Amino acid sequence: MGRHFLAWTVGIKKIIHAVFANKFITGAIEGELQRIPADFLIALDGIIIESYYGKDIGDHLPINQLLNTARSYSARNRKYSDD
């Protein structure tokens, strides 16, 4: 638990700043605080082509990784669909 708690406390300053700067008010917290974020890139055919499990609430799939994965999958799919 120590590693997750440290990551959460280090990132909380950024989160608080973003909340107040954008006047974002959340509802009640649901579930356990130990949950981690996860991002999934799902192709049109329903296949999960990328999954990313963050270390804290602000850790998400980097946009460059998302775009590269999508381009690569698209290029592979195009190759097979031309056959």
Say whether pLDDT at 20 is over 90: no
More confident position, 67 or 19: 67
Q: What is the DSSP string of 27-81?
A: ----S-TT---EEEEE-TTS-EEEEEE-SSTT----HHHHHHHHHHHHHHHHHHH
Say whether pLDDT at 78 is over 80: no
Write out the H or E segment, with its range, that includes residue 25: none
Instruction: Say what the pTM is.
Output: 0.53
pLDDT at 1: 47
Q: What percentage of the chain exceeds 90 in pLDDT? A: 25
